């Protein structure tokens, strides 16, 4: 797949690959006349690569004016966008309209995949047998058929039933009305079944190309969305026989970092990845998440555009499986106001700082900084005097993170944790997330962010270490869309929904054991009761979050579960009831103080469905708008 991307760059650059200007994209995927394309195996293969390229561009752009590359988990309860960029998060900031560029461009992007896939599906059999074997034609057609199903899956999740085109049409011919969501699911399932039945499609790939494993995965997901748990389970079980497995070279040894190493370039072709977007070390072709999930000491100087929400961090259990509670680590935490809780997160030596404890001159941590914290609390110093430990504050808060599910520290940079990064003028070094921030170019080497006046959780997942990425946008780590750990959790979910709760436990335990976390079946497990279907359901869903958060799975899962609206707009955290509007939601500092709140849009209460783009309804009046939206 790395070679596919490089080939696309050379073959398609001159062909105005991205010249599409109509919403239902009928611009050819190549410059050559269609008749010539299907007379040549080389050009036909290039056309197939063009379908992959349509998918690729949607995941490797961060911001092109229409936010096509915004990670979908930004819209979930997992994370929020930095306040400087909040306007681009139209789903949660009240600015979504049928004419907004985000709506129009995403819709167009998925239909571009559909159009290019249809071009291949309907024409590749015309390639002369002397140019291409029947087996290769069948395989490439199945790859395009899968990608068409993939695009319709995203369209159906976001818009809930769309016009289904199985052949290429001109803009004047694009007059079909919307199919229902159920009809769209049926088409997705039919396409994926075609792929599964193709003997020429390989069972398993690790390079980003389509496989039967990918087709089984998405067909199982489609069955989950329509509530057919038995068929979904059968598909997920089939994947287990195709050679996929958890990446676990340490075999779950205590203290292992297999979960962290999984999302590193060295392991991007391991047997866990079922379908992914391939990235290469070329500007415009790399993984943008290292930059957007990183911080100012990542890759020379990256951005922290996407920030894990405190409510998400609370999902990570204690080491014994019990639910995390701040009172167990910081007694009195819940008695304080949201702003007063800052005292538990302050660095050591705040009182001694007047003597230059952390530097000299402008970098000294002096009593003015102490007074700033007092002023922030707004209580005349009561909280500072009663709870702050001048020597030991850092150790106390570290224990609250270290005594947790190991995936917390492997996914997220928490207070006073170290991160091995790379900063311009410094190079590779270890930095520490401390508050208040002092200096990152010398001692004490604090992690710097885009907002050094605020204290946020930061991503470690998908973020480059050291000189893995020293040039913006060229990080080579592939972007995972489906991996085997997710399939195990979906398998557990199906079993539980079918009333086979006891059988579900083993698959959850496989995922937990890889990270060295206590199994549900361990006699020492002290978490919630998982002997009931409801208890196991809650545990499986929580497992989805801690395993997959930030990987673009949770937004669609929240929509599928019917929990998205409540989580995103009303009940975002358990411990900050005074932060935000309508309860706790929006971008928050680590202790729960809100920088902004998510704005509830009434139209999104209808299952979170996006509006059909205005331009689509202008071009095709047969398309009916989703309820609640007005053009």
pLDDT grade for 573, boundaries at 50, 70 and 90: very low
What is the model's pLDDT at position 434? 96
- For 466-505, the pLDDT digits (tens) are 999 877 778 899 999 999 999 999 999 999 999 999 999 9
Does the pTM of the predicted model rise above 0.85?
yes
Which run of H or of E encompasses 387?
helix 382-387
Highest mean pLDDT among 4-8, 60-64, 149-153, 603-607: 149-153
> Has residue 31 been placed in a domain?
yes
Is pLDDT of 429 > 90?
yes
Specify whether the CB–CB gap between 307 and 457 falls below 8 A. yes
Is pLDDT of 13 > 60?
no
Reduced DSSP (H G I as helix, E B as strand, rest coil) percent helix, strand, coil of the chain, to 5? 45, 5, 50
Can you read off the two tokens belonging to residue 133?
């074997």
- For 123-165, the pLDDT digits (tens) are 999 999 999 999 999 999 999 999 999 999 999 999 999 999 9
What is the model's pLDDT at position 193? 98
189: β partners: none
Is pLDDT of 17 > 50?
no
Mean pLDDT estimate for the chain: 88
φ and ψ of 502, to 5 deg: -60, -35
What is the model's pLDDT at position 253? 92
What is the model's pLDDT at position 515? 96
CATH of the domain at 5: 1.25.40.890
Q: Which of the pair, 359 or 349, is modelled with greater confidence?
A: 349
Is pLDDT of 620 > 80?
yes
What is the model's pLDDT at position 69? 72
> Has residue 300 been placed in a domain?
no
Among 403, 436, 463, the domain-final residue is 403
Quick one: average pLDDT of 495-517? 98
> Has residue 578 been placed in a domain?
no
- Number of domains the chain contains: 2
> Has residue 126 been placed in a domain?
yes
Highest mean pLDDT among 281-290, 334-343, 414-423: 414-423
Beta pairing class for 79-81 and 306-308: antiparallel
Specify whether the CB–CB gap between 436 and 347 falls below 8 A. yes
pLDDT grade for 599, boundaries at 50, 70 and 90: confident
Among 403, 418, 443, the domain-final residue is 403
Q: Which of the pair, 225 or 599, is modelled with greater confidence?
A: 225
User: If you ran DSSP here, which 8-state letter would residue 29 be given?
Assistant: S
Is pLDDT of 168 > 90?
no
> Has residue 146 been placed in a domain?
yes
For the ranges 346-355, 483-492, 503-512, the lowest mean pLDDT is seen at: 346-355
Among 344, 369, 403, the domain-final residue is 403
Highest mean pLDDT among 33-37, 174-178, 448-452: 174-178
Is pLDDT of 292 > 80?
yes
For the ranges 114-123, 539-548, 584-593, the lowest mean pLDDT is seen at: 584-593
Start-end of H helices in 515-579: 533-548, 554-561, 564-569
Please state the length of the chain: 631
- In angstroms, the first-to-last Cα distance of the chain is 41
- For 524-557, the pLDDT digits (tens) are 999 999 999 999 999 999 999 999 999 999 999 9
What is the model's pLDDT at position 453? 87
Say which residue the tokens 């019917």 belong to.
Answer: 562
What is the model's pLDDT at position 349? 86
Specify whether the CB–CB gap between 123 and 38 falls below 8 A. yes
Q: Which of the pair, 65 or 589, is modelled with greater confidence?
A: 589
User: From CA 33, how far away is CA 362, in angstroms rounded?
Assistant: 66
> Has residue 530 been placed in a domain?
no
Quick one: average pLDDT of 70-96? 89
What is the model's pLDDT at position 55? 82
What is the model's pLDDT at position 86? 86
> Has residue 128 been placed in a domain?
yes
Quick one: average pLDDT of 340-354? 83
> Has residue 166 been placed in a domain?
yes
What DSSP assignment string belongs to 160-202? Answer: SS----SS---GGG--PPPPPHHHHHHHHHHHHHHHHT-TTS-
* Range(s) of the domain holding residue 397: 334-403
User: From CA 221, how far away is CA 490, in angstroms rounded?
Assistant: 8
- Percent pLDDT > 70 in the chain is 88
What is the model's pLDDT at position 58? 76
pLDDT grade for 68, boundaries at 50, 70 and 90: low
What is the model's pLDDT at position 66? 55
Is pLDDT of 210 > 80?
yes
Report the chain's C-alpha Rg in angstroms: 25
Specify whether the CB–CB gap between 346 and 353 falls below 8 A. no
Is pLDDT of 121 > 70?
yes
């Amino acid at each position: 797949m790395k070679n596919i991307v490089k080939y696309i760059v050379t073959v398609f650059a001159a062909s105005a690959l991205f010249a599409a200007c109509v919403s239902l994209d009928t611009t050819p995927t190549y410059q050559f006349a269609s008749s010539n394309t299907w007379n040549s195996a080389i050009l036909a293969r290039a056309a197939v690569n063009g379908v992959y390229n349509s998918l690729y561009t949607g995941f490797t752009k961060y911001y092109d004016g229409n936010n096509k590359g915004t990670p979908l988990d930004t819209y979930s309860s997992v994370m929020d966008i930095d306040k400087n960029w909040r306007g681009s998060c139209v789903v949660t900031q009240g600015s979504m309209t049928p004419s907004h560029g985000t709506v129009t461009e995403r819709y167009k992007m998925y239909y571009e995949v559909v159009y290019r896939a249809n071009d291949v599906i309907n024409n590749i059999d015309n390639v002369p047998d002397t140019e291409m074997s029947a087996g290769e034609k069948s395989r490439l057609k199945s790859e395009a058929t899968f990608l068409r199903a993939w695009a319709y899956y995203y369209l159906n999740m976001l818009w809930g039933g769309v016009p289904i085109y199985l052949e290429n049409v001109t803009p004047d011919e694009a007059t079909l009305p919307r199919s229902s969501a159920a009809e769209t699911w049926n088409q997705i399932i039919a396409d994926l079944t075609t792929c599964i039945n193709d003997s020429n499609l390989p069972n398993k790939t690790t390079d980003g190309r389509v496989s039967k494993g990918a087709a089984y995965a998405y067909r199982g997901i489609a069955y989950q969305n329509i509530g057919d748990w038995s068929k979904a389970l059968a598909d997920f079980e089939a994947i287990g026989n195709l050679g996929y497995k958890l990446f676990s070279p340490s075999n779950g040894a205590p203290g292992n970092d297999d979960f962290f190493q999984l999302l590193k370039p060295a392991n991007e072709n391991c047997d866990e990845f079922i379908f992914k977007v391939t990235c290469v070390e070329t500007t415009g072709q790399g993984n943008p998440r290292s930059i957007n999930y990183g911080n100012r000491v990542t890759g020379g100087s990256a951005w922290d555009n996407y920030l894990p929400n405190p409510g998400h961090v609370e999902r990570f259990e204690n080491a014994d499986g019990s639910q995390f509670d701040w009172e167990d680590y910081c007694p009195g935490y819940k008695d304080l106001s949201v702003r007063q809780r800052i005292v538990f997160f302050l660095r050591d030596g705040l009182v001694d700082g007047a003597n230059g404890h952390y530097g000299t001159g402008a970098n000294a941590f002096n009593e003015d900084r102490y007074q700033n914290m007092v002023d922030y609390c707004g209580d005349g110093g009561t909280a500072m005097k009663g709870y702050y430990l001048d020597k030991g504050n850092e150790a106390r808060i570290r224990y609250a993170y270290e005594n947790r599910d190991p995936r917390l520290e492997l996914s997220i940079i928490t207070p006073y944790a170290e991160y091995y990064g790379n900063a311009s003028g410094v190079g590779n070094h270890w930095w520490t997330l401390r508050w208040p921030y002092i200096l990152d170019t010398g001692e004490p080497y604090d992690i710097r962010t885009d907002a050094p006046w605020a204290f946020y959780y930061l991503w470690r997942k998908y973020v480059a270490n050291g000189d893995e990425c020293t040039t913006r946008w060229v990080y080579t780590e592939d972007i995972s869309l489906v991996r085997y750990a997710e399939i195990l959790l979906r398998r557990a979910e199906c079993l539980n929904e079918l009333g086979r709760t006891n059988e579900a436990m083993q698959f959850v335990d496989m995922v937990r054991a890889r990270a060295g976390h206590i199994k549900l079946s361990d006699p020492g497990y002290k978490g919630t009761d998982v002997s009931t279907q409801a208890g196991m359901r809650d545990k499986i869903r929580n497992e989805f979050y801690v395993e997959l958060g930030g990987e673009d799975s949770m937004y669609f899962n929240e929509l599928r579960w019917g929990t998205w609206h409540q989580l995103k707009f009303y009940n975002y955290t358990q411990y900050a009831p005074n932060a935000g509007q309508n309860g706790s939601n929006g971008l928050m500092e680590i202790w729960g103080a809100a920088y902004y709140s998510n704005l509830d849009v009434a139209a999104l209460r209808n299952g979170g469905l996006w509006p059909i783009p205005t331009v689509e309804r202008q071009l095709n009046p047969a398309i009916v708008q989703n309820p609640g939206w007005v053009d």
